[in-house]
Amino acid sequence: MTTVFADPVNFNAYHPLKNEWTLWYDCPSKKINEHNWTQNLKNLTNFKTIEDFWGVINNIVPSNELSLGANYHIFKSGIKPMWEDPNNERGGRLSISFQKSTGDRINDIWLQSLAFTIGANFEHDDEICGIIFSNRKVCFRISLWLKSYENRDATETIA
């Protein structure tokens, strides 16, 4: 059996993702309006390979340690994590909340959700715009943003 580590030709092989992705971050202040929110939203980096993804994940604050009110947004490149973006205007969101008692386990849940999303493992992955991790006072929340709420078949399959 040959692995990439035993093969000097493929040792530095990259594993491209189907889509390029952008990591956004925001941590709203107490007094927030739409203008402040967009100014607070930061485009941190893009990645388009599995190796780049892990480079990003290994160099950011773990999800359960995000500041209260903060969010990680990972969206397909070219799509902003806001409803006003043309790719999101007709879309919807699937969310699941986790009790704070989930603790460190939320990091694994978030990473598995991320890997599934960026790896294009959903039957209707073309309908996915992005995924968000939110740290709230009473819960952690993971939300999957979809392109079209009208595509009921895709929404039900993904859910």
Tell me the pLDDT tens digit for each residue of 106-145: 999 999 999 999 998 777 788 899 999 999 999 999 999 9
Q: What pLDDT is attached to residue 1? A: 46
Per-10-residue mean pLDDT, the chain, length 159: 59 88 88 70 97 97 96 98 93 95 96 94 85 97 89 63
List the domain boundaries for the chain: 16-27+34-80+88-158
Name which of 147, 121, 119, 117 is nearest 132 in CA terms. Answer: 117
- Give the domain 16-27+34-80+88-158 fold: RNA Cap, Translation Initiation Factor Eif4e (3.30.760)
Q: How far apart are CA 105 and CA 140, in angstroms?
A: 11
Q: How far apart are CA 118 and CA 144, in angstroms?
A: 12
Q: What pLDDT is attached to residue 14? A: 87
Q: Which residues are 99's β-sheet partners? A: 139
Residue 140: which H helix or E strand, with range? strand 139-146
Q: What pLDDT is attached to residue 12? A: 76
Q: How far apart are CA 99 and CA 101, in angstroms?
A: 5
- pTM comes to 0.87
Q: What pLDDT is attached to residue 123? A: 77
Q: What pLDDT is attached to residue 68? A: 94
CA-to-CA dists, residue 26 to 41, 72, 98, 116, 159, angstroms: 5, 7, 20, 23, 26
